[in-house]
Amino acid sequence: MARTSGIRVIAYRDAAPADGPALAGMAKRAFTDTFGSLYRASDLAAFLDSTFGDEGLPSHLSDRRYAVRLARDAEAIVGFAKLGPVAFPGGWGADVIELHQLYVLGPWQGEGVAPVLMDWALAKARAEGYRRMVLSVFVDNIRAQRFYARYGFTEVGRYEFRVGEQIDDDRIWSLDL
C-alpha cells in the first residue's frame, strides 16, 4: 500500500475494459469478505460467477449504459462504484439510475474512499440528467445503511436479492437528485 507520511495515497479514475479481470477479482474479494459467511459455498460461487464473471461486471466496462469509477492504491484496485440502468422490477422511468455497487476493501474502509466514490456517483448522475438514484442494501448491513442515509437516501421498498439459490431480504433506497 502506498503511504506518504502515514497517509494512504489513493488515485481515482474511470474504469476501462482492460481493468475487467482485476476489478472482478477485487469485487469477488470484497463481497466474500463482507457476506461470504452467510451462504453455502455453491450459492456464493454461483453468485460470484454470474455477477463478477466475464458476462457480469467486466462486460459492463465496455457497455455505454454503465459507468464505473475505480479507487486504486499504488498496487491494486481497492474500491469502485458502478452506475447503470435500474435492474429492480417495476416502472422506474428513464430518469432513474441505479448505484449497482459501491465496494471498498476492508483495509481501506474508513479512509475516505467510499465518500469520494459516492460523490462521483452523484455528480455523474446529475451531470447526465438523472432525477433519482436508487440502490439496494442488505437488511442487516447497518453500516452501509448509515452511510447512504448520510447522503439523504431513504428506504422506499423491499427487494429479493438472489445469491445462488438463497434469497436475501434487501431494501431499496432512493435519493432525489
Mean pLDDT for all residues in the chain: 92
Taking the C-alpha atoms of residue 82 and residue 107, their distance in angstroms, rounded to an integer, is 20
Which residue ranges of the chain lie beneath pLDDT 50? 1-5
Residues 42-79 pLDDT 10s: 999 999 999 999 999 999 999 999 999 999 998 899 99
Query: According to the model, what pLDDT value does residue 168 have?
Result: 87
Domain range annotation of the chain = 3-176
* The pLDDT of residue 21: 96
What the block records as the C-alpha cell of 106 is 476492508
Which residue is it, cell 479507487?
A: 71
CATH class of the 3-176 domain in this structure: alpha beta
pLDDT confidence of residue 17: 97
pLDDT of residue 4: 45
The angle, 0 to 180 degrees and rounded to 10, between the axes of the packed helices 20-35 and 41-52 is 150
DSSP 64-98: TT-EEEEEE-SSSEEEEEEEES--SSS---TTEEE
- In the chain the first and final C-alpha atoms are separated, in Å, by 35
Judge whether 108 and 10 are in contact, CB under 8 Å: yes
Predicted confidence at residue 119, as pLDDT, reads: 98
Q: Measure CA 36 to chain center.
A: 16
Cα–Cα distance measured from residue 170 to residue 161, given in angstroms and rounded to the nearest whole number:
6
Cell numbers given for 121: 456517483
pLDDT at 164: 86
pTM beyond cutoff 0.75: yes
pLDDT computed for residue 7 by the predictor: 64
